[in-house]
Amino acid sequence: MSDIFREVEEDVRREKLEKFWKAYGDYIIALGALIILGIAGFELWQRYQANQRDKAAIAFMAAQRITDPRQAANAFADLAKTAPSGYRLLSRLEQANSMLAAGQRETAVTVYKEIADQDKSGIGAVARVRAGWATVDTASRADLQTLLAPLETQSSVWKPMADEILAYSDYRNHDTAKATQEFDSLASNPATPGALKSRARAMAAFLKQGGDKNVGTVPPPGTTHTPLSEVVKRPAGAPAQP
């Protein structure tokens, strides 16, 4: 009897499976095909992306070898239009660097600020620092503070670099006491990178020793003095040579 019941159960299952397959079989096949096509498409996309990165890397290195800064800026600008996102930002950063080297300061600063606004990671921070140094001689301290504010949080690894720019701005604006204090603070801060710490220590020592004082200007050329050699050779009382 158990064999009969088992056969009946198998027939019922088979009938249900046939009904299910008739109702949904086409969908199952389509879903399987989509999964296979999706996997294949993803692999092709990965290969395409890798190929684009390789091309961008080659073009990036070629642009870096250009010695004329204006030509280099144009090459990086062209690369930034077609390169993948990572190389696009790096290319724009190098474009701004080349512009700065070519004397196009205002345009370079504009590009730096655009990068800083677009990217909140390392590349954007580098662009913000470079914009600060590019304008430190002309911008007000308030403008520099606004520019560098995103780097000035206590947890930011970029804070010492931003602080150095602000300290130098105070020095440029003849606020010697404040600049000395800021450079001293940078020199004693464990979070300050080694090279920056050395610069800060040297700058603080320079200011403490009166290096910021105005000692005047070189006097303008006056009457030509008689060379010492002529004085030695000329007999006493003899007129100087014309």
Blockwise average pLDDT, block size 10, the chain, 242 residues: 56 65 69 67 61 67 84 89 82 92 94 93 94 95 96 93 96 93 95 94 91 58 50 48 50
Tell me if the pTM is above 0.75.
no
Q: Look at residue 34 in the predicted model and tell me its pLDDT.
A: 67
Distance of alpha carbon 151 from alpha carbon 159, whole angstroms:
5
Sole residue written with tokens 């006493």? 236
Q: Look at residue 62 in the predicted model and tell me its pLDDT.
A: 79
Q: Look at residue 3 in the predicted model and tell me its pLDDT.
A: 58
Q: Look at residue 103 in the predicted model and tell me its pLDDT.
A: 93
- Torsion from C-alpha of 172, 173, 176, 179, nearest 10 degrees: -70
Q: Look at residue 138 in the predicted model and tell me its pLDDT.
A: 93
Q: For residue 111, what are the CA distances in angstroms to 43, 107, 148, 157, 209?
A: 35, 6, 16, 23, 39
Buried b (16+ CB within 10 A) or exposed e, 220-242: eeeeeeeeeeeeeeeeeeeeeee
Nearest of 236, 151, 163, 149 to residue 200 by alpha carbon: 163
Nearest of 55, 127, 125, 128 to residue 95 by alpha carbon: 127
Q: Where are the domains of the chain?
A: 25-135, 144-211
CATH class assigned to 25-135: mainly alpha
